[in-house]
């Protein structure tokens, strides 16, 4: 998971992952930029509260939409909306949307279109930080996040140095979000397969060459996922309603008992924490 939650609240769970969130951002960021929020609808409570009266958002102009880890950052004239998709959320943005359904929980009606968060499980959230990125709420959610894997700060040497401080299994470290953000369950499994590393290997036992292979694999897998439109495992859809297709070509994820695409050894599954991990016992070494 990406970060701790506001005080007294549990962290959000991890799906959709970084590629899905970035694809969501790209799907509406340019279209909502400059829009004025005219009306706000808040439905059933989500995982975390909005943190302000809906009227505080009315009349505000949207400046831009960014991303940090798995959070969408909607920058306003006064403050910031942090949007987390939880396990089952997806965003829609259009001039007109279908009639609101039971799983549509947040709507921003603007002069340029309607933003809607659809979230059947209600693990997602929209949180207002009145002081923007300097706000304590934003710092609570974003302050402990690690490197962005698709930016220049994520490089082999610093990645290896960070891993040397972690005794946990490397798969657990990848999911933790404090070394590198956004590498959730499917992409961690795929990256470890590409790098030839067993998911149970202690992070601090990875040599510099193996850490470098894993760093390159993380970048490669995430870029492939972006090119494929992300993964649609549960409810994830693009802002235009289309699915992602990365999961159709996964090397190990979701393929328990099927032959490895490289060596034909049956793919195995193990539980790490509360997550299923998929790996090839022949291709991935401890």
142, 172, 189 — which closes off a domain? Answer: 142
Roughly what angle, to the nearest 10 degrees, separates helices 208-227 and 185-195?
A: 130
- Any domain includes 44: yes
Task: Look up the CATH number of the domain holding residue 242.
Answer: 1.10.8.50
Same domain (yes/no): 56, 130:
yes
174 and 121 in a common domain: no
Residue 6 maps to a domain: no
Residue 13 lies in a domain: no
Evaluated on CA atoms 13, 14, 15, 19, the torsion sign reads: positive
Mean pLDDT of the chain: 89
Do 119 and 182 share a domain, yes or no? no
Condensed to tens digits (0 to 9), the pLDDT of residues 241-274 reads: 444 445 567 899 989 999 999 999 999 999 998 8
State whether 249 and 174 are in the same domain. Answer: yes
Do residues 178 and 131 both lie within one domain? Answer: no
Dist. CA 133–CA 272, nearest whole Å: 33
Same domain assignment for residues 138 and 160: no
- Alpha helix locations (H) across the chain? 18-32, 136-142, 156-163, 170-176, 185-195, 208-227
Whether residue 200 contacts residue 272, with contact meaning beta carbons closer than 8 Å, is answered with yes
What is the CATH classification number for the domain harbouring 134? 3.20.190.10
**pLDDT (average), residues 176-205:** 95
98 in a structural domain: yes
**Domain-ending residue, one of 142, 176, 209:** 142
pLDDT band at 140 (very low <50, low <70, confident <90, very high): very high
Do 109 and 160 have their domain in common? no
Question: Is 150 inside a domain boundary?
Answer: no
Is 184 part of any domain? Answer: yes
Residues 164, 68 share a domain: no
User: Which sequence positions are flagged as catalytic?
Assistant: 16-17, 70, 275
Q: Where are the beta strands (DSSP E) in 29-112?
A: 37-42, 62-68, 71-76, 80-84, 90-94, 104-110
For 194-228, the pLDDT digits (tens) are: 999 999 999 999 999 999 999 999 999 999 888 88
183 and 265 in one domain? yes
For residue 2, tell me if it sits in a domain. Answer: no
Q: Examine the pLDDT at 12 and tell me if it is beyond 90.
A: no
Structural domains counted in the chain: 2
Domain that holds residue 194: 156-279
Confidence (pTM)? 0.86
């Amino acid at each position: 998971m990406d970060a701790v939650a506001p005080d007294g609240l549990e962290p959000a769970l991890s799906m959709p992952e970084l590629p899905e969130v970035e694809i969501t951002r790209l799907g509406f960021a340019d279209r909502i930029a400059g829009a004025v929020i005219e009306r706000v609808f808040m439905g059933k409570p989500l995982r975390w509260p909005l943190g302000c009266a809906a009227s505080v958002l009315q009349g505000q102009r949207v400046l831009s939409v960014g991303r940090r880890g798995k959070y969408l950052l909607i920058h306003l004239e006064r403050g910031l909306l942090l949007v987390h998709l939880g396990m089952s959320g997806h965003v829609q943005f259009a001039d007109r949307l279908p009639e609101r359904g039971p799983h549509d929980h947040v709507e921003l009606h603007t002069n340029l279109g309607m933003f809607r968060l659809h979230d059947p499980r209600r693990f997602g959230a929209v949180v207002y930080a009145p002081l923007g990125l300097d706000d304590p709420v934003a710092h609570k959610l974003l302050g402990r996040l690690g490197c962005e894997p698709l930016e220049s700060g994520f490089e082999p040497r610093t990645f290896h140095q960070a891993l040397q401080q972690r005794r946990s299994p490397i798969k657990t470290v990848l999911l933790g979000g404090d070394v590198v953000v956004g590498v959730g369950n499917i992409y961690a499994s795929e990256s470890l397969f590409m790098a030839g590393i067993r998911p149970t290997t202690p992070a601090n036992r990875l040599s510099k060459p193996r850490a470098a292979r894993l760093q390159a694999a993380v970048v490669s897998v995430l870029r492939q996922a972006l090119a494929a439109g992300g993964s649609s495992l549960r409810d994830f859809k693009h802002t235009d309603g289309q699915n992602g297709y990365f999961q159709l070509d996964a090397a190990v994820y979701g393929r328990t008992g099927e032959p490895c695409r490289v060596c034909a050894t049956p793919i195995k599954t193990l539980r790490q924490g509360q997550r299923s991990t998929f790996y090839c016992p022949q291709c991935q070494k401890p």
